[in-house]
Amino acid sequence: MRAFVITGPGRAEVQDVPPPRPGRGEVVVEVDRAGVCGTDAEIYSGAMSYLDSGQAAYPIRIGHEWCGVVAETGPGVDRAWLGRRVTGDTMLGCGNCDRCTAGRQHLCADRYEIGLRNGWPGALAERLPVPVTALHPLPEPVDPVLGALVEPGGVALRSVLGAGLSPGERLLVFGPGTIGLLVGQIAVARGVEVHLLGRYEPSLTFARSIGFAHVWTAQTLPDLRFDAVVDASNAAENPARAVEVVEPGRRVVYVGLSGEPSLIDSRVVALKDVTVVGVLSASGGLAGTIELYASGAVDPRPLVAATVGLAEAAGALAGERPAAWGAAPKIHIDPRR
């Protein structure tokens, strides 16, 4: 089968590789659509921390935002899965440790991460092996575009839930990229007043174009009460700023990662009695995201700028963007092209 393989920093090619065979408890999914994100771009550039820690090594087959159809089942898997449209969790725990048995498989020390960690191949390929326990069926209203947006949507939903807001309260989101915009869309669907803060006018203009009325820069941000802050940016200074601007006694959620350490003054956290929440993955948020998409309460399809084939994936990861794509943040890959 054809697969996109990153062979080294800034080097990738489409290769013919052996198709996967499902092991016990596994299925093989024929991939309809896969998204690429900032983490994938970091693997392509060589900046991703897993490469330094040894949790990832070239060659790597990326792709952890995906949907498709179950094409094969392995031993121990109900054949009723065959032909079902699915997406799935990126985080594949060992299933035996204390974290896994407590429902925190996404924190398992020995976990695989599809397309990212410990060599599990990703979805930028015609077929993908997945444990059946990681699968989530997709209802008819969730088309391939939405299906490949379930994983980032799950990250965003967990971030919104972590903010602990009630309808009518006010949320400030740092970073109007894919996760930040999804956080905003999900929060709006829950009756929250959303404000977005960013740096670059194209992304701010795009946010306004899809319905966000309160879009600011650091220079224009009004002096308002913010009942929670979600930092979905990669700016090293924003974690400290989030603690400074949030209402005392409320919550700050960190989901974005900067390329350098972000310093927070714990004295401010303590004196303001702020709760700090970290979000690693979509685990625990996938089913809820599918429900939001299926109901029409959240429609993130405008966030997808273009869908390209495997041969164009390297350009997308390198930041090549034809002007016709506009400023929407997400790029999808159709491995069948």
Are 127 and 215 in a shared domain?
A: no
pLDDT tens by residue, 240-264: 999 999 999 999 999 999 989 999 9
Q: Are residues 13 and 118 in the same domain?
A: yes
Q: How many angstroms separate the CA atoms of 150 and 294, rounded?
A: 11
Quick one: 128 and 183 in the same domain?
no
Q: What are phi and psi of 241, to 5 degrees?
A: -65, -35
Percent of the chain whose predicted confidence (pLDDT) is above 90: 99
**pLDDT at 308 (0 to 100):** 98
Same domain, 180 and 238: yes
182-240 confidence digits (pLDDT tens): 999 999 999 999 999 999 999 999 999 999 999 999 999 999 999 999 999 999 999 99
DSSP characters over 13-63: EEEE-PPP---TTEEEEEEEEEEE-HHHHHHHHT--HHHHHTS--SSB---
- The pTM of this model reads 0.97
Instruction: Say if residue 174 is in the same domain as residue 258.
Output: yes
Answer yes or no: is 140 within a domain: yes
322 shares a domain with 272 = no
Tally the domains of the chain. 2
Domain assignment present for residue 285? The answer is no
List CB contacts of 4: < 8 A, sequence separation 6 or more: 12, 13, 14, 61, 62, 63, 124, 125, 310, 313, 314, 333, 335
The whole domain housing 218 covers 155-278
User: What's 19's domain CATH number?
Assistant: 3.90.180.10
The pLDDT, as a whole number, for residue 259 is: 87
